[in-house]
């Protein structure tokens, strides 16, 4: 894999996940970290719509996808800009300036200086540490990840590249034996547009999502909820960042270079580093390998930031613009993964209840309008639940062994991994965040109530999901009863509280003269940076748990030597050959890495009554008229890949055989050997099936 391909994958990946959303956010008036925090969510919305449009037009995803994304981004930005110009009122900017919290160009001239360099330096360090840890554990970026979900997602990327259909409404039909079912494909469609193999594109997106989109989203959320919301300035006044584009307290601005501006920059820089130090998102990107879900998670902070801005906006015009941006970012999160619906309900519950209660207390016509909207929303929700009753019943009926509530609580509070062989490993980063949160709650108890309620709600949910078996645990079924899927919500809520604590301490110390205050400031920010640095080895271990072929969590699918052997055997096959290979023994990688068609593209059990399942269940008798030969003829398969492996040198052994256990060891009768390649742990043999006649 050349350096140019790797560089191109990173460049195009960053462009794809950030540029469309950033352009739309700018057109909507957002600036600085406010625009950056919602960029990924809005980009996901654009990609999702583009996938549906290209599929409906019957065009192949690829260059057409790039063109469609570009056109949709430009049109959306133009419409939003036109709307802002048509609506009455001042056309200021929305959100906070990157450093000062000012409405930036339209109201205050922005002067880059030391404060901006502090913020950019902190962001760069957070991105570098996050990317370094994940890249370090990945090894070579072209190394294919190995996990149950990772195999499926790699296969989805390859399917889109070959079939040209990236629609979430049936684009992955080939992976479901021809059935067109819903599956979120924003991640896969984006990866399919990047250069290099499916493995390279996916590894690059993992780094971008975990090291770039995540800290940017968290910084924007901290800015909206903690820093920009209340920035003290000279004379005791406060600046509120409002959606109208103007400061909330006259025209006072925490100007760059002032104590408030320096405290703001340091808070946001430390917030980015704190986000980089946490492990909850890294687990979803590595050991758990639920990449679409992780992509939806990094969209959530931007949505929450806009939601908080919306509730404090003055006037219907700014509320309309912010509401449109928030809806777009939320749609992007849902397009990335449907689980974002439930995540948003949890994270926005306290804010929504508080806002609705405030509107109801106003009385009069406003109260009647709110009640009408609530009735309509409940009716729409009930109708949607009825339409989706079958999938919901299936999800709510999901079962998984229970665990310890106390252990789950401790893991969640410390933010140690909650899935895989690395549970309880790493620094207890959550304890440091809890200490900062305690500062915020102690000094600003009333102002912290909503954030505190949200954190307690998410904490209770993760304990419920990871705790012992009882009827109420069914609530966690929408997260597949995996506490590692819920933990990122706890971290998001806790980072907001910790951001408040950071800002309170830094505002106090930056406003004081003397070396003692400077030492305290340096020590606090330095401690957060050191924590992010010390967290990198854990993130590397997490990445290694799906890339290091000798230490794959839950068992190795394929070794590096076996991948090379697959390449040698692939060269012996004629064009159009189809191979039967057990996916639990790495057979899928023959297709993903070497382009050879295989019968079984994922480790998911084939659909009932499909020829794939009939072949897997049939006795391995290769003679005319047998069930196996009938299924092989229907599938057009003429070759079989045999894998022998001694797992003694593998830390977690080989991956367990599932429904493909009988496929793993076919007898040699009815086959002739095409070639055999020895490996340090065994051998791979390619056979041509001749017994079926």
For the chain, give every domain's residue range: 3-86+126-229+259-349+388-543, 560-689
Reading the block at residue 68, the tokens are: 């469609």
Q: Are 607 and 176 in contact (CB under 8 A)?
A: yes
- What is the H or E stretch that residue 671 is in? strand 671-679
Confidence (pLDDT) at 244:
34
Task: Calculate Rg over the CA atoms of the chain.
Answer: 27
- The least confident of 276-290, 473-487, 623-637, 652-666 is 473-487
> Within its chain, how far is the Cα of 32 from the centroid?
22
Q: How confident is the model at residue 254 (pLDDT cuts 50, 70, 90)?
A: low
Distance CA 603, CA 525 (A): 46
Distance CA 533, CA 521 (A): 18
Checking if the pLDDT of 326 tops 90, the result is yes
Reading the block at residue 662, the tokens are: 């009988």
Q: Are 64 and 50 in contact (CB under 8 A)?
A: no
Closest CA to 156 of 290, 7, 14: 290
> Within its chain, how far is the Cα of 204 from the centroid?
13
Helix (H, G, I), strand (E, B) or coil at 677: strand
Higher pLDDT, 52 or 310: 52
Cβ-based neighbours of 655, under 8 Å, separated by 6 or more:
146, 552, 554, 555, 556, 557, 584, 585
Distance CA 427, CA 276 (A): 13
Checking if the pLDDT of 640 tops 80, the result is yes
Work out the end-to-end distance of the chain between its first and last CA atoms, rounded to an integer number of angstroms: 42
Distance CA 465, CA 473 (A): 6
Distance CA 475, CA 571 (A): 51
Confidence (pLDDT) at 44:
98
Q: What are phi and psi of 676, to 5 degrees?
A: -130, 135
Checking if the pLDDT of 249 tops 60, the result is no
Confidence (pLDDT) at 89:
59
Closest CA to 603 of 588, 618, 616: 588
Reading the block at residue 510, the tokens are: 């930056």
Confidence (pLDDT) at 232:
37
Checking if the pLDDT of 404 tops 80, the result is yes
Confidence (pLDDT) at 377:
83
Cβ-based neighbours of 112, under 8 Å, separated by 6 or more:
256
Checking if the pLDDT of 102 tops 70, the result is no
Q: For the residues 433-461, what does the mean pLDDT come to?
A: 92
Q: CA dihedral in degrees (328, 331, 336, 338; nearest 10)?
A: 170
Q: For the residues 305-310, what does the mean pLDDT come to?
A: 92
- The least confident of 5-14, 155-164, 216-225, 352-361 is 352-361
Higher pLDDT, 262 or 189: 189
Q: Are 440 and 498 in contact (CB under 8 A)?
A: yes
Checking if the pLDDT of 153 tops 80, the result is yes
Tell me the percentage of the chain whose pLDDT exceeds 90.
Answer: 72
Checking if the pLDDT of 256 tops 80, the result is no
Higher pLDDT, 389 or 170: 170
Confidence (pLDDT) at 228:
64
Q: For the residues 240-259, what does the mean pLDDT come to?
A: 43
* DSSP structure class, residue 93: -
- Could you report the per-residue pLDDT of 540-582, keeping only the tens digit for each? 999 999 999 999 999 999 999 999 999 999 999 999 999 999 9
Distance CA 103, CA 105 (A): 7
Q: For the residues 277-299, what does the mean pLDDT come to?
A: 97
Q: How confident is the model at residue 242 (pLDDT cuts 50, 70, 90)?
A: very low
How many CB atoms sit inside 10 A of residue 263's CB? 26
Mean pLDDT over the full length of the chain: 89
- Could you report the per-residue pLDDT of 79-89, keeping only the tens digit for each? 999 998 887 65
Confidence (pLDDT) at 513:
78
Distance CA 496, CA 484 (A): 20
Confidence (pLDDT) at 606:
95
HEC per residue, 617-629? HCCCCCCCCCHHH
Confidence (pLDDT) at 251:
32
Q: For the residues 123-133, what does the mean pLDDT come to?
A: 96
Q: Are 228 and 253 in contact (CB under 8 A)?
A: no
For residue 169, what are the β-bridge partners?
182
For residue 642, what are the β-bridge partners?
685
Reading the block at residue 51, the tokens are: 């996938």
Closest CA to 225 of 500, 634, 538: 500
Instruction: Please count the helices (runs of H) and the strands (runs of E) in the chain.
Output: 24, 7
């Amino acid at each position: 894999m050349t350096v140019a391909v790797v560089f191109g994958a990173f460049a195009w990946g960053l462009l794809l996940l950030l540029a469309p959303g950033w352009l739309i956010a700018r057109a909507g008036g957002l600036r600085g970290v406010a625009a950056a925090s919602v960029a990924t969510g809005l980009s996901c919305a654009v990609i999702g719509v583009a996938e549906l449009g290209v599929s409906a037009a019957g065009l192949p995803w690829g260059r057409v996808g790039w063109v469609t994304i570009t056109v949709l981004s430009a049109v959306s930005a133009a419409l939003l800009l036109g709307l802002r110009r048509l609506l009455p009122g001042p056309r200021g900017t929305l959100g906070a300036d990157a450093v000062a919290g000012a409405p930036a160009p339209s109201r205050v001239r922005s002067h880059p200086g030391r404060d901006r360099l502090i913020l950019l330096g902190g962001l760069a360090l957070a991105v570098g540490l996050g990317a370094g840890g994940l890249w370090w554990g990945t090894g070579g970026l072209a190394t294919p990840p190995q996990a149950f979900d990772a195999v499926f997602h790699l296969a989805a990327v390859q399917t889109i590249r070959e079939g040209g259909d990236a629609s979430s409404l049936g684009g992955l039909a080939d992976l479901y034996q021809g059935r067109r079912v819903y599956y979120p494909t924003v991640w896969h469609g984006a990866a399919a547009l990047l250069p290099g193999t499916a493995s390279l594109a996916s590894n690059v997106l993992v780094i971008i999502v975990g090291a770039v989109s995540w800290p940017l989203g968290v910084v924007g959320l901290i800015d909206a909820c903690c820093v920009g919301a209340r920035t003290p300035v000279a004379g005791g006044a406060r600046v509120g960042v409002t959606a109208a584009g103007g400061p909330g307290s006259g025209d006072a601005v925490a100007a760059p270079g002032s104590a408030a501006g320096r405290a703001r920059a340091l808070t946001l820089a430390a917030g980015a580093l704190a986000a980089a130090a946490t492990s909850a998102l890294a687990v979803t990107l590595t050991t758990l390998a639920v990449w679409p879900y992780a992509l939806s998670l990094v969209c959530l902070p931007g949505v929450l930031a806009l939601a908080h801005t919306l509730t404090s906006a003055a006037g219907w015009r700014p509320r309309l613009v912010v509401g449109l941006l928030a809806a777009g970012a939320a749609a992007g999160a849902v397009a990335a993964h449907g689980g974002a619906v439930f995540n948003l309900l949890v994270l926005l519950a306290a804010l929504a209840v508080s806002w609705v209660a405030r509107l109801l207390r106003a009385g009069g016509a406003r109260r009647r309008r709110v009640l009408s909207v609530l009735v309509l929303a409940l009716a729409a929700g009930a109708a949607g639940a009825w339409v989706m009753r079958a999938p919901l019943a299936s999800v709510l009926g999901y079962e998984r062994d229970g665990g310890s509530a106390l252990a789950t609580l401790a893991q969640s509070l410390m933010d140690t991994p909650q899935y895989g062989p690395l549970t309880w490993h790493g620094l207890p980063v959550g304890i440091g965040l809890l200490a900062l949160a305690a500062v915020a709650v102690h000094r600003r108890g009333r102002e912290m109530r909503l954030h505190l309620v949200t954190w307690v709600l998410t904490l209770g949910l993760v304990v419920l999901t990871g705790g012992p078996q009882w009827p109420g645990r069914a609530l966690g079924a929408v997260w597949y009863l995996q506490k590692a899927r819920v933990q990122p919500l706890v971290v998001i809520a806790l980072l907001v509280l910790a951001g408040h604590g950071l800002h309170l301490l830094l505002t106090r110390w930056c406003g004081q003269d003397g070396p003692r205050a400077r030492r305290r400031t340096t020590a606090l920010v330095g401690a957060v940076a050191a924590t992010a640095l010390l967290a990198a080895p854990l993130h590397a271990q997490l990445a290694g748990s799906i890339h290091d072929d000798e230490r794959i969590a839950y068992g190795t699918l394929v070794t590096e030597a076996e991948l090379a052997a697959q390449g040698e055997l692939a060269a012996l096959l004629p064009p159009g050959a189809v191979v039967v290979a057990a996916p639990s023994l790495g057979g899928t990688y023959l297709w993903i890495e070497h382009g050879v068609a295989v019968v079984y593209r994922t480790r998911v059990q084939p659909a009932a009554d499909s020829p794939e399942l009939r072949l897997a269940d049939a006795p391995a008798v290769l003679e005319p008229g047998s069930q196996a030969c009938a299924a092989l003829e229907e599938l057009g398969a003429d070759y079989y890949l045999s894998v022998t492996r001694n797992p003694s040198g593998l830390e977690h052994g080989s991956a367990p055989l599932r429904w493909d256990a009988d496929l793993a060891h076919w007898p040699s009768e009815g086959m002739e050997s095409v070639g055999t390649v020895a490996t340090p742990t065994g051998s791979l043999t390619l056979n041509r099936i001749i017994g079926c006649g």
